[in-house]
Chain A
């Protein structure tokens, strides 16, 4: 046993972790950006530590959103071994057989996961996922510059903050906010409700300075923007740099669970499971949680956290505070497509469009190309003929 921040933690199981030593195994880990401790502030550089411990090389890359990750996976371009999708996305991946059941025997540290996180709605039999972090969506704002506290999602639509508002750059989170404001279920499949939400987002658009994900850090820290919805954990990172920031967590906000999964086409499942297991080593999970400031489902790790963090009401709230929060569930395929479409429309803002425009354009341009090339050839021939005649 070693000690961590003055508390006892179990040592790594060297035998287990040395299974792949010297075998030149590499795993591709695909995670959200800013979602793993990189070893600053005296915390652990988790990937380096893992590589050192196991001899497995980690190819680590990042995505911005669930949907982006899904697209990358779906496109088939790359194979990954560990991914970190959120709740609704896990359902979708299960449904589309894009992730595979885990062998929990290879993940002994699964035992540290708090009971309340087992058998989640998105993976009811708990076959595919190991919870990673969880949290709630909040509204982050610059109290000093705004001048008062904020108590409502509506403030995101407040024209006073025009061009100082940031907004989610992914469809589910963005729609969730609009639906919350409208008082609808964030998982609604009702097209009318979704249309209204889209309408609301379009109304908001002129006020929005930018649609962002992690670029929010920079913008909020440097007072580029005044108000933005984001994930509560990240708020703490920003606040560290810019103490003027405050967070407001609406009652009915979105609660999210990100978990670790293994895509179906993973070539190194066992090594991937080892990685997942490693992330659940209490001291690893603790360092990680302290670094990214998200709420960890690893109860052993939580114990290792500084009290200040562990007792933070925003990160580890009492149960009753969560009762009005809403979690995402996967939507039907049609709704997914429909939301994607609405979302693209929001960003590109197109109201009236005509079905025939593009087919007609394609025909037209093909015609123009043809005519033009024929015309050119004819001209060339005439030119040549003319020259010949002249030469005689």
Chain B
């Protein structure tokens, strides 16, 4: 792989300090390297697009989400097929599908980012702690992780939501509280490996503190894997949230894409008004696929020995 120079960023001192930090530099460097790869770059831009949709989507919506649409003759446009005025058709109640889709982007993006962030934070902390500290701490943490692995995700999610109360945020919280398990395992394995490398031993022998070793050596080296997990977590969170919504245990009042499919399904019109559930479903699928492929691409390019860890991650 060709050498790449340090990234140049605006020359303010604070910014430089941040940019100079290992993790940031490696992250930015990795991102650049990755965008050279056309396929990965494509997935990246899809994700950027969806995030952007999450920001501006509600503003672009041509109609209100609960604004009943009428035809020129004054009839309610119930489950009307796509037309010029309603490019994605309308729902049974006569709402504009496109508008709901645009508005629904925001909760989806929030779910992804919050859920992914939670998964990343918990998984990385537990993984690094278990891997680096070792001994009894490791045994306990990893037994606990094994235990969480045995938890059937959706039923348990429902139990926890009934415990926490039905709501949009609580569904995300539940997702984060379960799905860190794959990340914890893989990051622990990586930490164990890195810990054995001579450069960590040298740092220890020179008197580097545990904190220093974790921040300066372990974190930057597990960062690609952690990014992979962030991406994966975003995808899983979106998918799981949609599933919980579909079962009716996440808030039905937040007009996410999952709610749209649920409404279409419950209306009994899903085969007639196929446009109602198709676009949200496709969008969820494309988002999840993009996060996964993006994470894979990042990880592939950054770490040479990436292959062996992917297996564990998909089973999360």
A and B bind: no
